[in-house]
Amino acid sequence: MIYSLGMRILQVGKYYPPCRGGMETVLRHMCEGLAERGHEVTALVAAASPRGSVAAIGGARAGGRGRLVRAGTIWTLNGQPLCPRFSALLRRELRASPPDIVQLHLPNPAACAAVLANLRGDRARPRLTVWYHADITRQRLGRRAVAPLVARCLDRAAGVAVSSEALRTRSPLLRSRLARVRVIPFGIEPAEWSGGRHAHDGPFLFVGRLVRYKGLGTLLDAVARAPRARLQIVGGGPLRRELAGRVSDPALSERVSLLGELDDVALRAAMGQARALVLPSDGEGETFGVVQLEAMAAGLPVISTRLPTGVAAVNADGVTGRVVPPADAGALAGALVEILDNPERSRAWGEAGRRRVRESFSRDRMLDDIERWYADLLGQPD
């Protein structure tokens, strides 16, 4: 722990595990880790159902310092949960135990509006911070409608954090605010995924939402071109029916499996049997790819795409795996075949990935950076 003075921190997110996703995974690591370091942490998020709840987070190591407040969700529109009591719950948290830091995770327009409505007056306490995970890229009309709201939040915030330099410099909403934007790479707990050595003779593995920008069509084209490759697809989403139709093709039906959503225990087991992780995303909605870190910590090589986002900062081409052009089935098939033909190289890439996560993308390193950032914003001495 860098700072001995415990802070009261309110994290305002979209969802929380067991809901799966990069934002949710990162939020869990932040909340649990900060509570374990002696800070009082509350996370306010949307529930997956109309029933709200309050629960402890962090387990025994958190010493009761972590709370999870879920606001009941009555409807979801374009991926945005609609929670009638969200603003009231936020107001209650702000008044009951005024936090030193309010950290808002964006994109999340409804939470953004609630924060602006409830944080008025003196900016000294609490300090509003924004963790800017991504631009809204897939909903053009929605992006234009909410851009002024997001801009107001960014202007109101004492500081903004992003996971990569690429997002910091490429985001249209951040370019005019660069002086207040700090890069803090995501981190995970390597021990959660380091289950042992792999034979590297199992199927390739995809993990993620079944949506367009994930590049799954290209991945299936690549597998069709690599007859020895087998593939397991983990995740749910709007493309599941379309993918099921494609997988029924005789060229793929014996080699590709749709496993649906898996919890962390089952996902660790799948990674333990996999040959490599494939992240074939072809859109800038993929801003980092936390699943790359989980796979690397598990000792798997990674095949990813050369996107102009933080994805490129994680997987090192020729060191921890292969990086190929996006939407290029031929190049992706070549990477699959290279891993199939070179098991010793694959093992070396997997071990290099383990080291890379420990040295550059651990949860402890991320938490050190977050504590330092918070303390700077609060004017605390180092």
Four-residue CA torsion sign, 153, 311, 294, 266 = positive
Q: Is the pLDDT of residue 199 over 90?
A: no
pTM beyond 0.85, yes or no? yes
Matching CATH number, 8-187+362-378, of 3.40.630.10, 3.40.640.10, 3.40.50.1360, 3.40.50.2000 = 3.40.50.2000
Q: What is the pLDDT of residue 1?
A: 46
- Cβ atoms of residues 147 and 322 within 8 Å: no
Reported as a pLDDT band with limits 50, 70 and 90, residue 139 is low
Query: Which residues, at least 6 apart from 157, have a Cβ–Cβ distance to it below 8 Å?
Result: 104, 128, 129, 130, 180
Reported as a pLDDT band with limits 50, 70 and 90, residue 201 is confident
By three-state DSSP, how is residue 311 classified? helix
Reported as a pLDDT band with limits 50, 70 and 90, residue 197 is low
CATH 3.40.50.2000 residue spans of the chain = 8-187+362-378, 190-360
Report DSSP letters for 235-265, one per residue.
--STTHHHHHHHHTSTTTTTTEEEEE---HH
Give CA–CA dist 142/148, Å, rounded.
Answer: 11
Sheet holding 53-56, edge to edge: 53-56, 66-71, 40-46, 8-12, 101-106, 127-132, 159-162, 181-183
The CATH superfamily holding the domain 190-360 is Glycogen Phosphorylase B; (3.40.50.2000)
pLDDT digits 0-9 by tens, 293-338: 999 999 999 999 999 999 999 999 999 999 999 999 999 999 999 9
Give CA–CA dist 148/115, Å, rounded.
Answer: 14
Asked if the peptide bond before residue 126 counts as cis, ω within 30 degrees of 0, the response is yes
42 beta partners:
10, 67
